[in-house]
Amino acid sequence: MIFYFLLLLGIIYNLCYNRKTTKKGEIMTSLERFIRYVKIDTQASDKTGTTPSTEKQKNLGALLVKELLELGLEDAHMDEFGIVYGHLPGKGTRIGLNAHMDTALEVTDENVKPHLIKEYKGGTIKLANGLEMSPKQFPVLRKHVGHDLVVTDGNTLLGADDKAGIAIIMSALQYFKDNPKVAHNTICVAFTVDEEIGEGPKHFNYKEFNAKYAYTIDGSDIDVVEAENFNAYAASVDIIGVSIHPGEAKGKLINALLLAKELIASLPEKETPFDSEGKQGYWHINEIVGDSEHATMHFILRDFDDDGIQNRIETVKKAVKALQDKYPTAKIEVNFKEQYRNMKKYVAKKPIALKRVRSVMRKNGIEPISGAIRGGTDGATFSRNGLITPNLGTGSYNHHGRYEFLDLYEFNKMISVVIGLMKK
C-alpha cells in the first residue's frame, strides 16, 4: 500500500517538476517554452542588407516582449531593428543576459517538428524522415545516454541555437516571478537579431541594455565557459582580366577565373579549415563569382592570435601583389573587412564576470572549463565595446543542421546556473 502511495507521490512530483503556473493558470514547462520558440521561423538571411535581415524575426520578438511583460519586466519592448530589451529591477549589480533570436542559414527552420526521446539508451537515433544519427558519426551522443533529448524530424534544423538560450533566460525569469521573496540583482535582458550573419551587435544599444557585465547563453557544453574566440576578417579580391575573342587571344587574353585559381594555389595549402582544429587558424575561400573577364573572390581569415591574423592578412596581400606583378595588364584589388575580434584580452581586464559564473557553476555541481570558440559570438563585440560578455552553454549540440539536438537535463541545469547568476 505504502509502495503505491509513494509511487503516486512520485508521479505527482514528476508531473509538477519544473512546471510553472502562469497568471492565467496556464502551465508551461521549460521544454514547452523551448518548443514554442522553435516553432517560430526566424531564419536570418545574408542577402537582404536590412536589419533585421528577415522581418519574420520580429514575430518571435513580439511574443518575447509579451512574455517579458507578463514576467514583470515592465519596460520590455522591441526596437526598430527587432532587438528586444527588458529589465527586472532588483538590488545590487546590473547583470545582463543575452541570446539571439535568428537561426542559421544552412538549413531551414520552417515547420520545425521537435521529437522527444525519453532516456536516450545510446545507439543510433532514427529521425522521422529516414536520416540517422549514430554515435559513430556523432561521438558527442555518448555523453548524453540516459538523458531526455529533443531532436528534429530530419527536415529542418532544431533552432536550439539559440532558442535554447532564450528559453533558459525566460525560465530563469519565471523562477523569480514565482519566487518573489528570492532576492536578485537587476536583470538586464536583450534578445538580438542576425547573430548568424555576424550582425547581432550592429545596432545594439548599450545604454538601453545598461548592464555592468553580461553573459550570452549561446554555446553547447554546459561546463564550458567561453571567453576566447577567433579574430575574424573577410577579404574580397576583385580581378579584372583582359577579354578578347579566344580565337585570337594568344598572348593577350587574361582570364580572371584562371587568375583566381592561381591565387588560391599560391596560398598556404595546409591552412584551410579542413586542416585546422583547436587553436589553429585558417584561410577559407567562401565563394567565387564572375566570368573570364571579371571575377570576385570572397575569403574569410581566422586566427586566435592578434599577430596571427595580421600575418594572414599580409599573406593574402603578398599573394595578390605577386599575381598583379605577374599579370600587369589585369587589375587585381583586395579589400579587408574586420568582422570581430578575440574577446580574451578584454575579458581579462574585468575578471568579475568569469569569477562569478565559475563559482555559481561549482555550486551547481559543474566543474567549469575554459573554451575557445572557433567562430564568433555577439559577446566578442560586446566585450570589445566594454561590456564584458563570456559565452555559456545551452546543452544543445550539432548546431546549424538537421542533426541538432537538445539535452533536456543539461538545458534545465543551465536554468539553475542562470538563476544562480542572478541571485543576490
Residue 375 Cβ, how far from Zn ion at the closest point, in Å?
9
Residue 212 Cβ, how far from Zn ion at the closest point, in Å?
23
The site map against Zn ion for 297-326 (x = CB under 5 A) is ------------------------------
Residue 166 Cβ, how far from Zn ion at the closest point, in Å?
11
102 is catalytic: yes
Residue 248 Cβ, how far from Zn ion at the closest point, in Å?
54
The catalytically annotated residue of 41, 67, 195, 196 is 195
Which of residues 162 and 228 has its CB atom nearest to Zn ion in the complex?
A: 162
Cα 376 to Cα 381: distance, rounded to the nearest angstrom: 9
Cα 298 to Cα 179: distance, rounded to the nearest angstrom: 52
C-beta separation of 165 from 172 below 8 A? no
Q: Could you say whether residue 218 binds Zn ion (CB under 5 A)?
A: yes
Residue 160 Cβ, how far from Zn ion at the closest point, in Å?
9
Q: Which stretch binds Zn ion (CB under 5 A): 151-159, 210-218, 282-290, 366-374?
A: 210-218
Residue 103 Cβ, how far from Zn ion at the closest point, in Å?
8
Q: Which stretch binds Zn ion (CB under 5 A): 15-23, 213-221, 299-307, 410-418?
A: 213-221
Count residues near Zn ion (CB under 5 A). 3
Which of residues 98 and 185 has its CB atom nearest to Zn ion in the complex?
A: 98
In the window 147-206, what residues touch Zn ion (CB under 5 A)?
161-162
Q: Which stretch binds Zn ion (CB under 5 A): 63-71, 172-180, 199-207, 211-219?
A: 211-219
Which of residues 120 and 382 has its CB atom nearest to Zn ion in the complex?
A: 382
Which of residues 109 and 162 has its CB atom nearest to Zn ion in the complex?
A: 162
Distances (CA, A) of 227 to 57, 77, 151, 185, 281: 27, 29, 28, 22, 17
Which of residues 168 and 254 has its CB atom nearest to Zn ion in the complex?
A: 168
The site map against Zn ion for 56-85 (x = CB under 5 A) is ------------------------------
Which of residues 104 and 332 has its CB atom nearest to Zn ion in the complex?
A: 104
Cα 282 vs. chain centroid, distance in angstroms?
A: 20
195 is catalytic: yes
The catalytically annotated residue of 102, 161, 226, 404 is 102
List residues binding Zn ion (CB under 5 A): 161-162, 218
Show which residues are catalytic.
102, 195
